Amino acid sequence: MDRREVLKALTLLSASAALPLTARAQPAPGRFAAADDGFLLDGQPFQVLAGEMHYPRIPRASWRDRMRKLKALGLNTLTTYVFWNAHEPKPGVYDFSDNLDVAAYVRLAQEEGLFVNLRPGPFVCAEWDGGGLPAWLFPTDDIGARSLDPRYFEPVKGWLKRLGQELAPLLIDRGGPIILTQIENEYGAYGSDQTYLNAQRQALVDAGFTGLLYTADPAEFFAKGSMPGVVGGINFGTMAKAKDEFAKRAQTRPQGPYMCTELWGGWFDSYGKLHETMPTQPLLDSLEWMLQNKYSISFYMLHGGTSFGFTPGANWDRKGYTPDIASYDYDALLDEAGRPTPKYEAVQALFKRYLPPEAFKPMPEPEPSIRAPHFTLHEVAPLSQLYGKAVLADAPRTLEALGQTHGLILYRHKTKSALKGKLSFGEVRDYALIGDGRGVQAILDRRFDETEAEIDIPAGQPLDVLVDTMGHCNYGAKIGKDQKGLIGAASLNGSPLQGWAHYALPLDDLSELTFAPGGATGPAFYRGTLRVEAPGFTFLDMRGWGKGYVWINGRNIGRYWSAGPQQTMFVPASWLKAGENEVVVLDLLTGGPRALSASPRQVWDLPGAV
């Protein structure tokens, strides 16, 4: 559809904006439909009671357990985002295997008697790296994210068509469980281009998503993000009052169907802050008001799980850059390990006052957990073992310009002369260790807008700048404009510093490492063995370590950092085996004893904690 066709369609839709849904020209209704006061399933009123859980954040072996806990709460629908950058790590290279088999996730939900509310994005926010948008999509910052810029939108259409091959056959009118499909995601908080939104809708339809579509926005952005003739949900949190939020929505659209598409029962965590927690009673108050009025609801999150590997995102606002932690516990109804919380029990008790007994399925047996006493990681391999062939350039280049989407990068400047004085960069994204190949002289942290440091590099030694990247911004003005590494020109005492070698360190393959007993004086990998009699979930206690990543039996379980608030790393039971399990920890900082322990207990930095 070209822009003229989109504008014509928009004009027609705008003319019908004031009409109730039932009065507008609608396609032949399917099994799931919208009325002015609610939803209809096979012609009968249907209240969507959903919980959001994300398949990449839950080990595949635990998908069924989490769904059964959703059913035990009295819910009837599973909500999930789809994460484009996880499925298309390189242009045209797709991955729907193992934990990314989203079609298997949807089919399993159907097996468990659940409907599915699908949120395919392509932008999803979700405290996920780049909001789900692939970093390779933005080699430069002039590409218009969430727009009709063909450099953005043509790949979007290609992705949605590929996703449609997986999921369009699972729409309810084709025998599957998908009853709702979202257009974009909270677009009103970002822009107001109805031409773009209509193009997004058409791209979904062209990909086979021909069922009931909807938008979702915070109530204050509903007018900008909703679409005439399209179901419009609103998102709000624990401390808001549902009655007030729907009153805001009514200023733009008084008719239904009425749905809280994200009921935030908690909040996400960022590095360097205390663990986020939310009170239960205000949540119950809003929930009860919606139950009394038979509004549809989707908990965000019912269960957050874990942002494994390099998947956590970051926010950008007036306070600057705030990267998100690996745990996506979210203070949700189920904790990071999938255990029911007191909040879950309180919500369940409320539901039992409004729903029939048959809505509640039995709670599954608790998953086993394990403990392990302190064990030492005796073997070491320096990070330098992974330095490959360098790319040379006059000025520092970003990871994206070099075709890298995550991990670390080493910038090296060699000169025969000594280097002393103020070293400056345009920006550092996101955390840089500056040294001379023998030790660290300075650290620059983007959270504090640090871009310069005093250095003293002896003659004959290299100037090394090792940059650890964290999440690409998933919210705010920096979406698509958060290229990683050293940004802009480098200078020493105000004079340009040219001639840089770039060593890519994506950390996707550690097989080339050679470990040996001993210690290290710089960034290094440490290896040890976790012995267990039988698999069970656990949390590795990272206190005493600095900043880096952890692998269990070759799987990257995520990023850790002593900055907190997260001090333990979740290890799924299904990623362990009886007997010996390999544990590898990359620590960028020199520190204390290289030892770990494990227990079922999460450790957080909390208000008042000592």
Kindly report, residue by residue over 151-202, the tens digit of the pLDDT. Answer: 999 999 999 999 999 999 999 999 999 999 999 999 999 999 999 999 999 9
pLDDT tens figures, 266-324: 999 999 999 999 999 999 999 999 999 999 999 999 999 999 999 999 999 888 999 99
pLDDT tens figures, 543-555: 999 999 999 999 9
Residue located via tokens 């009425």? 258
The catalytic position among 88, 127, 186, 245 is 186
In sequence order, which residues have a C-beta less than 8 Å from that of residue 66 and are 6 or more positions away? Answer: 53, 58, 303, 334, 338
Tell me the whole-structure pTM to 2 decimals. Answer: 0.94
The catalytic position among 262, 336, 367, 400 is 262
pLDDT of residue 478: 94
As a whole number of angstroms, the distance between CA 158 and CA 167 comes to: 15
Q: Measure CA 264 to chain center.
A: 15
The H-assigned helical ranges of 92-149 are 102-111
As a whole number of angstroms, the distance between CA 195 and CA 197 comes to: 6
Mean pLDDT of 461-467: 97
Tokens representing 47?
Answer: 């209240």
Phi-psi region at 481: left, alpha or beta (left = phi > 0; alpha = psi -120 to 50): alpha
As a whole number of angstroms, the distance between CA 290 and CA 342 comes to: 21
Whether 24 shows a pLDDT value over 80: the answer reads: no
| Average pLDDT of the chain, as a whole number | 94
> CA torsion sign, 582 to 587 to 590 to 591?
negative
Whether 427 shows a pLDDT value over 80: the answer reads: yes
Mean pLDDT of 483-502: 97
pLDDT of residue 3: 39
pLDDT of residue 438: 85
As a whole number of angstroms, the distance between CA 431 and CA 94 comes to: 30
Q: Is 127 a catalytic residue?
A: no
Strands (DSSP E) contained in 268-390 are 296-300, 314-317, 320-323, 372-376, 379-382
| CA neighbours closer than 13 Å in the CB half-sphere of residue 184 | 31
Q: Is 512 a catalytic residue?
A: no
Please confirm whether the linkage preceding 269 is cis (ω < 30° from 0): no
Mean pLDDT of 116-122: 98
pLDDT of residue 606: 76
Mean pLDDT of 363-387: 97
Please provide the size of the chain in residues.
610
What is the DSSP secondary-structure string of 191-240? ---HHHHHHHHHHHHHTT--S-EEEEEEGGGHHHH--TTSEEEEEEETTS
Whether 491 shows a pLDDT value over 80: the answer reads: yes
pLDDT tens figures, 344-354: 999 999 999 99
pLDDT of residue 173: 97
pLDDT of residue 22: 37
Percent of the chain clearing pLDDT 90 (strictly above):
91
In this structure, the number of other CB atoms found within 10 A of the CB of residue 228 comes to 18
pLDDT tens figures, 248-261: 999 999 999 999 99
Residue located via tokens 């484009």? 84
Q: Which residues pair with 129 in a beta bridge?
A: none
Buried residues in 298-332 as b, exposed as e (16+ CB within 10 A): bbbbbbbbbbbbbbbbbbbeeeebbbbbbbbbbbb
Mean pLDDT of 320-336: 97
| Structural contact between residues 112 and 77, judged by C-beta atoms closer than 8 angstroms | no
pLDDT band at 592 (very low <50, low <70, confident <90, very high): confident
Whether 590 shows a pLDDT value over 90: the answer reads: no
As a whole number of angstroms, the distance between CA 1 and CA 544 comes to: 57
In sequence order, which residues have a C-beta less than 8 Å from that of residue 126 and are 6 or more positions away? Answer: 54, 81, 83, 132, 313, 474
